[in-house]
Structure 1
Amino acid sequence: MKIVAVEAIPFAIPYRKPLRFASGEVHTADHVLVRVHTDDGIVGVAEAPPRPYTYGETQESILAVVGTVFAPEVTGLSLLEREVARARMDRTIGNPTAKAALDMACWDALGRSLDLPVTQLLGGFTDRMRVSHMVGFATDEAMVAEAEHVRDTYGITTFKVKVGRRPISLDVGACRALRTALGPDVELYVDGNRGWTPSEAARALAAMADLDLTLSEELCPADDVVGRRWLTAQTPVPTVADESAVTPGQVTRELLDGAATMISIKTARTGFSTSQRILHQCEGMGAEIVMGNQIDGQIGTACSVAFGAAHRHSSRRAGELSNFLDMSDDLLTEPLEIHGGELAVRPGPGIGIEIDPDKLAHYRTD
């Protein structure tokens, strides 16, 4: 089970419609497929989604760091030497999604080698998760129409609403329109992608006090240290740290500083190994978690549900697992399917997915 080669393959798949939010917008999935080859012919896969406006990574930077830095450092290691691989990658600062994809590809290869699903290797708590859908910036009517379509077609009843524009004139109205159209039985929560000031966020949350919002995520910039503490202390809506809590150290800071009460885990940026550290850390500190979405394609979504379903703590809430629905295509031989508001873990060894070689040949850009 030794690693003999690592590949990083760029590909681009358009979205049917762009997802717009406070820190940027995405029109095309310019991702990187990472493949880990072993000496017994096993190939593990995962994908890295670059988000330059959040982590500074681009498709080109991921290709470079995987190909020239990480591949030489992990080649020759056993798939069981995950801590060695992690320590070697951590000598390079940043590059979270590149590290995460390589970590998950190694876990996928390990599962395939042992003929076991990764979700069982991680914990095996359940085999599915409830799904939350992200609704991006649009007119009130378009946002309502999207949510109603997703609810009626896929049975999804939890929605994360992107906010962070002008709070009162745009975002509060959109949330109110969604609550009116969807009724009281649908869960709504908001994500500002760091778009509001603390005072704007406080005013907006007060204006939405009657909408029964369950969570508020990253309403203010991560470096608004005093303002974030002030906001979290005065609002009854639980505060989720996302972009401000990428590492275990940042998770500790956010929780102990009182800047957040919950943590978003995204396997696309912390892989399986670091995500599990953060999950156990949150359990020990009594903090709930949300399985977040990095605007993942189906490969990344399969990784998220495999991790989320593996643990009791991460399977309690609906995970953000549906935004692959906005992509015009994907690389899998068998597409993921959401039924009754749930996404099941893919059966089979590893992550349970296979790459369609014809689709990869069509969409790869190298």
Structure 2
Amino acid sequence: MKITRVEAIPFAIPYRKPLRFASGEVHAAEHVLVRVHTDDGVVGVAEAPPRPFTYGETQAGIITAIDSIFGPQVTGLSLLEREVAHARMSRTVGNPTAKSAVDMAMWDALGRSLDVSVTELLGGFTDRMRVSHMLGFDEPAAMVAEAEKMRDSYGITTFKVKVGRSPVSLDTAVVRALREGLGDAVELYVDGNRGWTAAESARAMKEMADLDLLFAEELCPADDVLGRRWLVQQLDVPFIADESAVTPADVTREVLGGSATAVSIKTARTGFTRSQRTHHLAEGLGLEVVMGNQIDGQIGSLCTVAFGAAHALTSRRAGELSNFLDMSDDLLAEPLTISDGELAVRPGAGLGAELDPDKLRHYRQDR
């Protein structure tokens, strides 16, 4: 079970419509497929989605980091030496999705080698999760229509609404339209991607106080330390730290400093090894946890549900698992399906991710 080679393959798949939010917008999944090869002929896979507006990574940068730093660091290690791999990759600052994809591909290869699913390796609490769908910026009627389609077609009843525009009434009107259009049977929460000031966030949350929101996420920048603490102290819903709390140390700082009361775990940026650290920390601190989405494709969504389903805490809430539906295609031979508002762990060893070689040839960008 020794690693012999790590591949980083760029690919691009257009979205049917762009996803827009306060910190940027995405028109295509310009991601990196990572494959970890072993001396037994086993190949583990994962997906690295660059988000330069959040973490500074680009597709080209991820490939360079894996080819020149992280791949050589893990080559020769056993798949069981995940802590050694983590320690070696941690010597390099940043590059969270590049590191995470290598880590998750190692877990996938380990599961395939042992003929055990990654979810079972991680904890095996359940085999599925409820799904939350992320709604990007649009007019109120269009966002209500999209939510209705997701509810009627896939049974999804939890929606994360992107906010953060000015004036705040642009977004509060959308959330109100969603509540009035969908009724009380759905769960709604908002994500500002740091787009508002603390004062704007407070005003917006007061305007939406009667809408029974589940969470508020990253409404204002964590860099506004006093403003964020002031905001969190007056909210009556959990405030999720997302991009401000990537590492367990970040989570500790934000929570103990009064700047957050919940946390989003995104396997795309913390892999499985570091995500477990964050999960255990959240358990110890008594935090709410949601499984977040980095606008992942189907491979990334498989990783998210594999981790989320493995633990009681992360499977308690609906996970952000559906935005691959906005993509025009994907790399899996058998597409994921959401049924009755749930996404199941793919059966089989590892992640259960089998690629379509024709699709990979079509969408890869290095040939």
When normalised by structure 1's length, the TM-score is 1.00
Corresponding residue number in structure 1 for 2:147: 147
Q: Deviations over 1:137-180 (max 9, x none)?
A: 00111101000000000000000000000243300000000001
CA deviation after TM superposition for structure 1 residue 222, in Å: 1.9
Corresponding residue number in structure 2 for 1:36: 36
Counterparts of 2:348 and 2:362 in 1: how far apart (Å)? 26
Corresponding residue number in structure 2 for 1:212: 212
Q: Deviations over 1:26-52 (max 9, x none)?
A: 000000000000000000000000000
Matches within 5 A, 1:56-95: 56-95=56-95
Q: Deviations over 1:98-133 (max 9, x none)?
A: 000000000000000000000000000000000000
Counterparts of 2:237 and 2:80 in 1: how far apart (Å)? 42
Is 2:339 aligned against 1:354? no
Corresponding residue number in structure 1 for 2:325: 325
Corresponding residue number in structure 2 for 1:246: 246
Q: How many residues align?
A: 366
The answer on whether the counterparts of 1:119 and 1:310 sit within 8 Å (CA) in structure 2 is: yes
Q: Deviations over 1:165-222 (max 9, x none)?
A: 0243300000000001000111000000000000000000000000001100000012
Corresponding residue number in structure 2 for 1:169: 169
Letter in structure 2 aligned against 1:339: S
Counterparts of 2:59 and 2:361 in 1: how far apart (Å)? 17
Matches within 5 A, 1:161-240: 161-240=161-240
Unaligned runs of 5+ in 1: none
RMSD: 0.5
Is 2:292 aligned against 1:308? no
The answer on whether the counterparts of 1:135 and 1:161 sit within 8 Å (CA) in structure 2 is: yes
The answer on whether the counterparts of 2:201 and 2:220 sit within 8 Å (CA) in structure 1 is: yes
Corresponding residue number in structure 2 for 1:9: 9
Percentage identity across paired residues of the two chains: 75
Counterparts of 1:225 and 1:360 in 2: how far apart (Å)? 45
Corresponding residue number in structure 1 for 2:122: 122
Counterparts of 1:186 and 1:312 in 2: how far apart (Å)? 22
Is 2:34 aligned against 1:25? no
Letter in structure 2 aligned against 1:75: T
Corresponding residue number in structure 1 for 2:295: 295
Counterparts of 2:175 and 2:356 in 1: how far apart (Å)? 39
Counterparts of 2:200 and 2:166 in 1: how far apart (Å)? 9
Letter in structure 1 aligned against 2:222: A
CA deviation after TM superposition for structure 1 residue 288, in Å: 1.2
Counterparts of 2:154 and 2:52 in 1: how far apart (Å)? 31
Unaligned runs of 5+ in 2: none
Please state whether the residue corresponding to 2:143 is helix, strand or coil. helix
The answer on whether the counterparts of 1:241 and 1:262 sit within 8 Å (CA) in structure 2 is: yes
Is 2:102 aligned against 1:102? yes
Please state whether the residue corresponding to 1:210 is helix, strand or coil. coil
**Which segments of structure 1 move beyond 6 Å, counting only runs of 4 or more?**
none
Please state whether the residue corresponding to 2:71 is helix, strand or coil. helix
Counterparts of 2:288 and 2:149 in 1: how far apart (Å)? 29
Corresponding residue number in structure 2 for 1:133: 133
Q: Deviations over 1:310-358 (max 9, x none)?
A: 0001000000000000000000000000000000000000001111111
Please state whether the residue corresponding to 1:180 is helix, strand or coil. helix
Letter in structure 2 aligned against 1:150: M
The answer on whether the counterparts of 2:3 and 2:74 sit within 8 Å (CA) in structure 1 is: yes
Please state whether the residue corresponding to 1:52 is helix, strand or coil. coil
The answer on whether the counterparts of 2:169 and 2:204 sit within 8 Å (CA) in structure 1 is: no
The answer on whether the counterparts of 1:6 and 1:37 sit within 8 Å (CA) in structure 2 is: yes
Counterparts of 2:321 and 2:47 in 1: how far apart (Å)? 15
The answer on whether the counterparts of 1:222 and 1:243 sit within 8 Å (CA) in structure 2 is: no
